[in-house]
């Protein structure tokens, strides 16, 4: 009984004790719930008052963000970027709902119901930390994370960390007052660094999936949002399985909060990542030579001459400029493809010829001393040499270093190749590659549509369109002489005896008597019209004309047509000795297609700041050089080159039947091959040759402009004409409105000539 009675008494006492404890807990929780908001408000007020280093309204309205400068083509494709961080902002309306839903479901489910700080989530996080529970989740909202990204904190501990956390709460609340929820989401996704040079959702979409933010599929958006937890840990390029697991967690969250059905969740989780990973590299993509010239020359000068309103200079790597160019992405792609197709075959032919050369790739008549000099110059221009020199190594030791085999990756037309080679041998190897420069321009506007400065920017960074002034232009210079003759009253049918012309030289120099070359000798002594002489590129006739007007008049004509490269006013320019860039030559020849008016080649139309404000508009300069009638006469003269002369393979081999005016050019020893091609809507020019003039084809059949350069022009035009989205005329050149008083029909003068030269293949005997 005592046992039972004691047991009942103990139970009664225990019940009363439990009741008291429950009452105490309720009181404690009452005061906690009552004082927490008051305490939180007190801390908030204290924080606002004493955290004096918080960003002000101006900083919140205009947070500093490094933005990439974008380069746009004329058809509004992004050609490339210049950046310190590869970031381009996108507005909320440019985001796929998939990425928005994934972000909110994973990072901040109550995003639309709080004002920057989610008290409920924060309390859960504090409780989890206090109890050691790992399932309570984090307390940072999207807005708080944005605050942390916009105003980064240092690595803090203890009270400093708590203080900094409170600052972030305050900044988050301020951000919510300054921006809409949609703007905050867009800012967050634009600011986040997805690594692998993908800063912001636009770059990440392109680099990881080759798409745009508005086109992200659910599984793609989930993977990118999953990276927000820890981009290095969930790097899909290095840890695909880990990234897939994290992606699936995001998909589960999207299902949990009603963004996906159970069926969608299950099917999406089974999908592979399907990365289309291609990190951006300035050597890749369209128009790398053009983009580099734009960066290193044009924009450098523009930034010097166009400061910001506050006097500081624009930074193309951080200020998010937008550069609108004239390049047409389709035509640029065709130009690069034409270069690749032709140079790959041409290089194979050259390597085949090199097997017969003792000093390959150098020509048979190049001495050992000349070769050594060329090689040493190549060594001294290399990055390896500059690094060794900077390290204090002397010339002798550097040369020894260059002859020690090392592992390297080299260029081949069949792709990059890993090999072991001495740096000295690699210089010789690269000397054997044929290079090219190609440019295409709209003659009525001056807009450059395509620019190919070389064969592979990663390995050969010298631009042969604008920077390359060091190569002679050969017979492509002759139209300047003929244009002067037409301007002075000559007609295409004016006949000149094809005999040697000698020109007196000043200061007791020997008389200058240039010879004809190749098949030209077969026509020696005949009477030729100017039309025939230009078609067959006869040196005697060029010498005759320059003797009539003087070298300085020809130089002046070239100057008026936009040539700025140095030209000595000497008789030898009649054979094309001046060194002129492809850029200038295309611009000059556009004068004929533009009815006698030279128009400045233009490749940028405007530059805007990051907000779309126009900073500069660009308009080409013009100058009237020839009358419309005489420009038309020049076109008829140059059409003869394609119809009967050195460019006739455009007709019989490449089947280009539309009106074409042109001029081939070949320099001494076949070191340079040129072709300038003119159609009513496009003027394009090409140079092909090796880096050093001592490297060239031995046979003119392969080394002439018709073989080295003309095929690139032909392949390019074939592709352009085949693209029905590009509106290029196949009609005749416009005839002048004014009645022509210049004799154009030279057929009656050609009958005797034609009888005597029926067996001559003009393309292979004249160049």
pLDDT, position 284:
82
Tell me the average pLDDT across 132-145.
Answer: 68
Q: What is the C-alpha separation between 663 and 588, in angstroms, rounded?
A: 13
Residue 753 banded pLDDT, cuts 50, 70, 90: low
- 285-337 pLDDT, tens digit per residue, is 899 999 999 999 999 999 999 999 999 999 999 999 999 999 999 999 999 99
* 123 has pLDDT over 80: no
Q: What is the C-alpha separation between 726 and 33, in angstroms, rounded?
A: 72
* 45 has pLDDT over 80: no
Q: Which helix (H) or strand (E) holds 450?
A: strand 448-452
Q: Please, which residues bridge with residue 472 across strands?
A: 579
* 135 has pLDDT over 50: no
Residue 609 banded pLDDT, cuts 50, 70, 90: very high
Q: What is the C-alpha separation between 729 and 580, in angstroms, rounded?
A: 29
Tell me the average pLDDT across 578-593.
Answer: 97
Q: What is the C-alpha separation between 442 and 682, in angstroms, rounded?
A: 5
pLDDT, position 337:
98
Among the ranges given (296-305, 524-533, 552-561), the one the predictor scored with the smallest mean pLDDT: 524-533
Q: What is the C-alpha separation between 567 and 570, in angstroms, rounded?
A: 8
Q: Which helix (H) or strand (E) holds 10?
A: helix 2-50
pLDDT, position 52:
47
* 195 has pLDDT over 50: yes
Q: What percentage of the chain carries pLDDT values higher than 70? A: 84
Question: Between 86 and 43, where is the model more confident?
Answer: 86
Sign of the dihedral defined by the CA atoms of residues 420, 424, 425, 431, in that order = positive
Residue 399 banded pLDDT, cuts 50, 70, 90: very high
* C-beta separation of 79 from 327 below 8 A: yes
pLDDT, position 521:
62
Tell me the average pLDDT across 373-392.
Answer: 94
Question: Between 741 and 50, where is the model more confident?
Answer: 741
pLDDT, position 154:
56
Q: What is the C-alpha separation between 502 and 525, in angstroms, rounded?
A: 15
Question: Between 153 and 111, where is the model more confident?
Answer: 111
Per the prediction, the chain carries an average pLDDT of: 88
In 252-388, beta strands by DSSP E: 322-325
Q: Which helix (H) or strand (E) holds 341?
A: helix 329-354
Among the ranges given (41-55, 131-145, 238-252, 729-743), the one the predictor scored with the smallest mean pLDDT: 41-55
Residue 37 banded pLDDT, cuts 50, 70, 90: low
* 544 has pLDDT over 80: yes
* 550 has pLDDT over 90: yes
> How are beta strands 661-666 and 434-441 bridged, if at all?
unpaired
Q: What is the C-alpha separation between 647 and 714, in angstroms, rounded?
A: 10
Among candidate residues 653, 594, 604, the one with its CA nearest the CA of residue 624: 594
Place of tokens 């690595």: 155
pLDDT, position 1:
41
- 247-275 pLDDT, tens digit per residue, is 999 999 999 999 999 999 999 999 999 99
- 683-733 pLDDT, tens digit per residue, is 999 999 999 999 999 999 999 999 999 999 999 999 999 999 999 999 999
């Amino acid at each position: 009984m005592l046992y039972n009675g004691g047991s009942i008494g103990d139970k009664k006492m225990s019940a009363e004790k439990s009741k008291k404890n429950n009452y105490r807990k309720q009181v404690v929780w009452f005061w906690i719930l009552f004082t927490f908001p008051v305490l939180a408000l007190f801390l908030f007020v204290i924080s606002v008052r004493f955290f004096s280093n918080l960003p002000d309204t101006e900083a919140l309205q205009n947070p500093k963000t490094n933005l990439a400068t974008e380069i746009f083509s004329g058809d509004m494709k992004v050609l490339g970027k210049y950046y310190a961080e590869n970031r381009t902002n996108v507005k909320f309306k440019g985001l796929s709902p998939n990425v928005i839903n994934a972000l909110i479901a994973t990072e901040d489910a109550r995003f639309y119901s709080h004002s920057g700080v989610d008290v409920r989530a924060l309390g859960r996080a504090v409780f989890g930390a206090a109890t050691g529970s790992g399932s309570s989740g984090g307390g940072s909202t999207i807005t708080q994370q944005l605050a942390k990204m916009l105003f980064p904190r240092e690595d803090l501990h203890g009270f400093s960390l708590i203080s900094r956390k409170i600052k972030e709460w305050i900044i988050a609340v301020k951000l919510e007052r300054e921006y809409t929820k949609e703007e905050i989401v867009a800012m967050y996704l634009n600011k986040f660094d997805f690594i692998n040079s993908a800063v912001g959702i636009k770059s990440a979409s392109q680099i990881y999936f080759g798409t745009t933010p508005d086109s992200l599929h659910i599984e793609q958006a989930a993977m990118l949002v999953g990276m927000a937890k820890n981009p290095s840990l969930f790097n899909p390029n290095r840890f695909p399985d880990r990234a897939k697991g994290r992606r699936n967690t995001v998909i589960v969250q999207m299902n949990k909060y009603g963004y996906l059905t159970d069926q969608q969740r299950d099917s999406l989780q089974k999908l592979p990542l399907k990365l289309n990973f291609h990190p951006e590299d300035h050597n890749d993509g369209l128009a790398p030579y053009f983009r580099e010239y734009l960066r290193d020359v044009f924009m450098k000068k523009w930034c010097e001459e166009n400061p910001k309103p506050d006097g500081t200079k624009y930074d193309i790597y951080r200020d998010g400029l937008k550069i609108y160019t004239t390049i047409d992405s389709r035509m640029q792609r065709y130009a690069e493809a034409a270069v690749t197709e032709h140079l790959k075959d041409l290089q194979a032919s050259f390597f085949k010829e090199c097997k017969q050369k003792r000093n390959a790739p150098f020509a048979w008549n190049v001495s050992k001393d000349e070769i050594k000099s060329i090689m040493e110059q190549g060594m001294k221009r290399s990055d390896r040499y500059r690094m060794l020199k900077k390290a204090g190594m002397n010339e002798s030791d550097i040369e020894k270093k260059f002859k020690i085999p090392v592992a390297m990756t080299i260029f081949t037309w069949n792709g990059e190749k890993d090999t072991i080679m001495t740096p000295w041998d690699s210089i010789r190897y690269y000397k054997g590659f044929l290079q090219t420069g190609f440019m295409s321009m709209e003659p009525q506007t001056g807009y450059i549509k395509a620019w190919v400065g070389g064969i592979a920017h990663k390995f050969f960074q010298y631009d042969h369109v604008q920077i390359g002034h060091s190569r002679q232009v050969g017979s492509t210079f002759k139209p300047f002489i003929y244009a002067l003759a037409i301007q002075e009253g000559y007609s295409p049918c004016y006949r000149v005896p094809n005999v040697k012309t000698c020109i007196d030289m000043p200061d007791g120099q020997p008389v200058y008597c240039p010879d004809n070359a190749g098949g030209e000798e077969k026509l020696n002594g005949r009477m030729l019209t100017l039309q025939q002489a230009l078609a067959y590129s006869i040196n005697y006739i060029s010498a005759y004309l320059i003797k009539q007007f003087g070298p300085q008049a020809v130089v002046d004509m070239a100057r008026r047509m936009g040539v700025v490269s140095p030209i000595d006013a000497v008789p030898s320019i009649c054979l094309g000795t001046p060194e002129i860039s492809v850029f200038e030559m295309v611009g000059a020849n556009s004068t004929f297609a533009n009815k006698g008016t030279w128009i400045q080649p233009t490749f940028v139309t405007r530059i805007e700041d990051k907000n779309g404000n126009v900073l500069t508009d660009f308009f080409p300069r013009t100058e009237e050089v020839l009358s419309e009638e005489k420009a038309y006469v020049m076109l008829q003269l140059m059409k003869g080159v394609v119809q009967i002369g050195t460019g006739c393979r455009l007709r019989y081999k490449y089947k280009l039947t539309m009106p074409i005016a042109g001029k081939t050019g070949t320099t001494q020893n076949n070191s340079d091959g040129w072709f300038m091609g003119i159609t009513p809507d496009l003027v394009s020019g090409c140079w092909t040759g090796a880096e050093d003039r001592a490297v060239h084809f031995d046979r003119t059949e392969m080394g002439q402009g018709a073989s080295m350069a003309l095929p690139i022009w032909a392949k390019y035009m074939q592709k352009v004409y085949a693209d029905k989205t590009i509106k290029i005329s196949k009609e005749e050149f416009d005839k002048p409105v004014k009645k022509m008083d210049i004799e154009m029909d030279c057929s009656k003068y050609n009958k005797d000539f034609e009888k005597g030269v029926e067996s001559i293949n003009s393309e292979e005997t004249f160049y």
